[in-house]
Homo-oligomer: A and B are copies of this chain.
Amino acid sequence: MSTQILKNVLFGSAALLLTAACGAQEEAQSQASSATAAKADDQAKMDDQAKVNDQAMVSSSKTTKSPLFQATFDRVQQQVDAELDAEIIVPFPADAGGGYTHEQHKRNYKTIYNAGNLFRLTGEQKYADHVSKLLLAYAEMYPTLPLHPKKKEQTPGKLFWQSLNEAMWLVYAIQGYDAVQDSLPEETQTIIERDVFREVASYLSDGQPQTFNKIHNHGTWATAAVGMTGYALDDQEMVEKALLGLDKSGEYGFLKQLDELFSPDGYYSEGPYYQRFALLPFVVFAQEVEKNEPERKIFEHRDGVLLKAIDTIVHLSYNGIFFPINDAIKEKGLTTPELNFGLAAAYDFTKDPAYLSMAAYQNTVLLNDTGLEMAKAIDAGKAEPFPFKTMQLGDGRDGDRGALAIMRSGMGMTDQTVVVKNTTQGMGHGHFDKMALLVYDNGGEILSDYGAARFLNVVDKYGGHYLPENNLYAKQTIAHNALVVDETSHFDGKLAKAEEHHPDVLLFDEAANIAITTARMDEAYEGVGFSRTVAQVTLPSLDQPIILDIVRTEAEGQHQYDLPIHYQGQITKVSFPYTAEDQNSRALGADNGYQYLWKTAEANLADAFNQLTWLNKDRFYTYSFLAPSNSKGIFTRLGANDPDFNLRNETGFILRQQGKSDSVFVSVL
C-alpha cells in the first residue's frame, strides 16, 4: 500500500466516517442483492479443513453404515472395552484438579456415559454391567464421604475439589445410568439410586444452595445435573427444584438462568470460553425437558434463545478458535466436546445443513440417533458452509448493555475478522478492557488478546488454577488493545464498579464495502471520557481490507494516554527513529500490569505520520498512525518480574500521549 493512499485515508478519515455512518443504512438496502451475490462467491473460500473432511467422508458414502458414525463408535468402543477388563478404580478423593484422583473420577464418569451409549447401541449386557459395577463402587463410598481435602472455599465438592466437577460427574453419570437402568436387578437399582444419585443430587441442591441458586454457569451445571437426575429417577420434585430454584419460586433455577445469562442474541456475558462450557448443561437438560415435558416448549423459551446461543458460539470464533476475550484458554475452539452436544441439539431442531459442516469440522458425532442422522447427512455430502458474517451481538439480559462487534471480510473461517469488545465486564472472569480491539487475518491473530494467564490442569503451574498473573497482568487494561489512562486500568481494576457500567454503542452498521462501529465510555475513568470508532473498509485499490481505528478522549485535567497494540509477528520496518535498549532492559512500570513489560525501545515521535510494519506468515501488516507532538512510541516485550516463567514473551507497541486533556489517536492497519 503506498504511503500516499494511506495518508489520504487517514486525513480523509473524518469525512469517510461521516459518509459511512449516514450512508450505511440506505446503502445497506440498495446493495443487499449485490452483497448476496458477493457472499455466494465467498462460500467458495470456505475453510479447507472442512472441505477435506467433507471429501474424505463423501468418499466412503457407499458403505451401508456411516463411516463417520462408525469411526466414532469404534473409538469409543475401543476405550470402553479396554476398561472392561481392567480393575474398577474408584479412589478415595485426595487430589486437586489435574491430580490423580481427580482425573480418575473424570475418567469414570466418561466411562459410565460411554458404556451407557454402547449398551443402547449394541444391547450387550457387559456394558450395562460395567456401569453397574462402577456405580456400586461409588455407592459404597459416597454416603460417608467428607468434603474434599483440597476443597475450594466457596464451592467444595466431595469427589472433587469443587462442586462444579461434582455436577459434571452427575450430568454424565446419570445419562449412562439412564441408558442401562432397566437392565439391572431392582435391588441394584435401589442401592445405586439411594446411595449415589440421590446423595449427589441432594448435596448439589439442598447441600449447596449458594451454588444451586446462583445465576452463573456453576448454577447451570448443578441444576441440570439435579433436574436430569429427577427425570431419570421419576422424581418430579427434583425436576421442579432444578427448573425453578430450591424454593420453586422461579426466582432461581434453570429457567431463570436461561432468562438472565444469555442476551436476546444468545451472547453469554462471560465470553465464548465460558459460553461453550455453560452451553453443555443447558443443552442436555433442555433436551430432557423437551422429551419429558414437551409442553414446556423449552427450546422456544425467549424466542429460542438457547438455539441462538448455540449458533452464536460458532460465530464467536476465528479459524476454529474462540475469540479469547475475558478469562479464556486460547486453544479452545470449535472442536471442543461441549459443542458436539450443542450442534446436535441445534441440528435436531433446525435441520440446518450449516451445522453439518461444523460437525464435519469436529470430525465426530454423538453416539445416538441424532449423531447417526448427522453422520449420514455429512457422508451424503449434505453439509453446507457455516455462514460466518459481520454481526453485532447485544450483551445483557435485554441486549442493551453494550455489544460485541464482529466484522468479517467474507464468509470463510479465515477471512479477515475484526472484533471490538463493547460489552459488559462479564462478571468475575471479565477483563478490564472496554472497547478492546482484536484483529485476525490469514488464519491467525494479528492484534491479539492475551486471554487468561493459566495452565489448565498443569499441577506445577499453581495447581492448574488461574495464576496470580491473571489478575495482575491478563485482566489489566494494558494487556489488551485498549486505551489506558494514567497507567491505571479501567474502573481502577475494581470488579463491582466495572459491573455497573458498559460502553454505549453509538453506531454499528455495514454496507458492501464497510463495516463500522462506534462506542463511548465515560465511567471507566474519573473525569475522562473516551470513544472508539473501528471500521473495516474494503478499497478497490487494495487486496485486503484496511482497518481504521479512531480513539478520542475528552477530559478536564491533564492525563497520560497509552494506546497499546499487541502485534503478532516480526517487525520488519519502522518509519521513525528510536532508541533500543541494547545492553540493559528495564521493567516499564511498577503496577497495573506495567511491571510485567520489558521496555525494549523508545521513540520520541516528531513526525505526524508514522508506520510500523511486521511480518506474520507470508503477509506484511503496517500500523500507520498519526502522532501528535509530545507523543512517544514504546516497544515492549512481556516477561519482566516473571521469575516463574508464567507469561508468554509476547511483543507490543504503545503509543503514548502525555500531558493532554483531549486527544485523538488515528490509525490504520
Chain A interface residues (CB < 8 Å from chain B): 52, 55-56, 58-60, 455, 458, 460-461, 570-573, 578, 580, 582-587, 598, 600-601, 613, 615, 637, 639-645, 648-649, 651
Tell me, rounded to whole Å, the shortest Cβ–Cβ distance linking A109 to chain B: 21
> Does B55 lie within 8 Å of A601, measured CB to CB?
no
Closest to A59 in B: B59
> Does A583 lie within 8 Å of B640, measured CB to CB?
yes
Tell which of B52, B60, B458, B648 touches A572, judged by Cβ atoms closer than 8 Å.
B458
Tell which of B52, B582, B615 touches A643, judged by Cβ atoms closer than 8 Å.
B582
9 A-B pairs closest in CB distance: A59-B59, A580-B643, A571-B645, A460-B573, A55-B56, A585-B585, A460-B572, A582-B641, A583-B587
> Does B56 lie within 8 Å of A572, measured CB to CB?
no
> Does B56 lie within 8 Å of A455, measured CB to CB?
no
Tell which of B59, B584, B600 touches A586, judged by Cβ atoms closer than 8 Å.
B584
Please tell me how many copies of the chain the complex holds. 2
> Does A642 lie within 8 Å of B580, measured CB to CB?
yes
Known: A455-B572, A637-B649. A460 touches B613 (CB 8 A): yes
In the bound complex, CA of A491 to CA of B8 (Å): 56
Closest to A651 in B: B649
Chain B residues with CB under 8 Å of A582's CB are 587, 640-643
Chain B residues with CB under 8 Å of A584's CB are 584-587
| A52, A55, A572, A585: most-surrounded residue (chain B CB, <10 A) | A585
Provide 18 A-B residue pairs closer than 8 Å at the C-beta atoms, listed in order of the A residue. Answer: A55-B59, A56-B56, A58-B59, A455-B572, A458-B572, A458-B615, A460-B572, A460-B613, A570-B645, A570-B648, A571-B644, A572-B645, A580-B643, A582-B643, A583-B587, A584-B584, A585-B586, A585-B640
In the bound complex, CA of A643 to CA of B586 (Å): 15
In the bound complex, CA of A580 to CA of B586 (Å): 13
In the bound complex, CA of A571 to CA of B649 (Å): 12
Chain B residues with CB under 8 Å of A460's CB are 572-573, 613
In the bound complex, CA of A277 to CA of B649 (Å): 34
Tell me, rounded to whole Å, the shortest Cβ–Cβ distance linking A332 to chain B: 13
Chain B residues with CB under 8 Å of A455's CB are 570, 572, 615
Tell me, rounded to whole Å, the shortest Cβ–Cβ distance linking A401 to chain B: 36
Closest to A58 in B: B59
In the bound complex, CA of A419 to CA of B643 (Å): 32
In the bound complex, CA of A305 to CA of B196 (Å): 71
In the bound complex, CA of A615 to CA of B59 (Å): 38
Tell me, rounded to whole Å, the shortest Cβ–Cβ distance linking A651 to chain B: 8
In the bound complex, CA of A585 to CA of B642 (Å): 12
Tell me, rounded to whole Å, the shortest Cβ–Cβ distance linking A589 to chain B: 11
Tell me, rounded to whole Å, the shortest Cβ–Cβ distance linking A445 to chain B: 17
> Does B640 lie within 8 Å of A637, measured CB to CB?
no
Known: A458-B615, A584-B584, A613-B460. A600 touches B639 (CB 8 A): yes
Tell me, rounded to whole Å, the shortest Cβ–Cβ distance linking A60 to chain B: 8
Known A461-B572, A584-B584; 7 more pairs at CB < 8 Å: A55-B55, A455-B572, A578-B643, A582-B641, A582-B643, A585-B598, A649-B651
In the bound complex, CA of A648 to CA of B651 (Å): 11
In the bound complex, CA of A75 to CA of B598 (Å): 47
Closest to A601 in B: B643
Chain B residues with CB under 8 Å of A573's CB are 460
In the bound complex, CA of A335 to CA of B473 (Å): 41
Chain B residues with CB under 8 Å of A644's CB are 571
> Does B458 lie within 8 Å of A583, measured CB to CB?
no
Tell me, rounded to whole Å, the shortest Cβ–Cβ distance linking A604 to chain B: 16
Tell me, rounded to whole Å, the shortest Cβ–Cβ distance linking A576 to chain B: 13
Chain B residues with CB under 8 Å of A572's CB are 455, 458, 460-461, 645
Tell me, rounded to whole Å, the shortest Cβ–Cβ distance linking A175 to chain B: 27
| A573, A613, A643: most-surrounded residue (chain B CB, <10 A) | A643
Tell me, rounded to whole Å, the shortest Cβ–Cβ distance linking A515 to chain B: 30
Chain B residues with CB under 8 Å of A643's CB are 578, 580, 582, 601
In the bound complex, CA of A585 to CA of B649 (Å): 14
Closest to A583 in B: B587
